[in-house]
Amino acid sequence: MNILKTLSSLSKTGKPPTDQDMLRWANTTAQKAKPSVRPIRSFKDPSITTGLFFLDLLDAIRPGIVDPNLVIPVAETGDYEDRRQNGKFRISLTLVYAYLRSSQTCHLDCEKNERIDLLGT
């Protein structure tokens, strides 16, 4: 339920975004940073299994967070272990990003009693 509250608080309407809203945001964000990114059509898009779209999205949100030398270029029908490694890498980066974001925001909240977004997202 916390994620729905957070998403609702970030939306213009105060309601949680729809799947299409989230897909539109993710595709637009990833393609602004890297125009060659192939957009995903739904959360069931087979290309999601490669982990590549989400790694591109993370790099668009926080440029430089993804080390391209650690990304395995794999097709959606490619080796399961390669796709799994990309997925594990993506989850690790997401956790690091979330930690950085929360610790910096919390630090400023505690000191100045206001929320300042140091990461610009």
Tokens standing for residue 88: 């594990």
Name the CATH code of domain 19-112 (choices 1.10.8.60, 3.40.190.10, 1.10.418.10, 3.65.10.10). Answer: 1.10.418.10
CA 28 to CA 37: how far, in whole Å? Answer: 10
Domain ranges within the chain, ordered by starting residue: 19-112
As given in the structure block, the two tokens for residue 90 are: 């993506």
Q: What is the DSSP secondary structure assignment for residue 81, as one 8-state letter?
A: H
Per-residue pLDDT for 105 more than 70? no
Tens-digit pLDDT profile for residues 54-97: 999 999 998 988 888 989 999 999 999 999 998 888 888 888 87
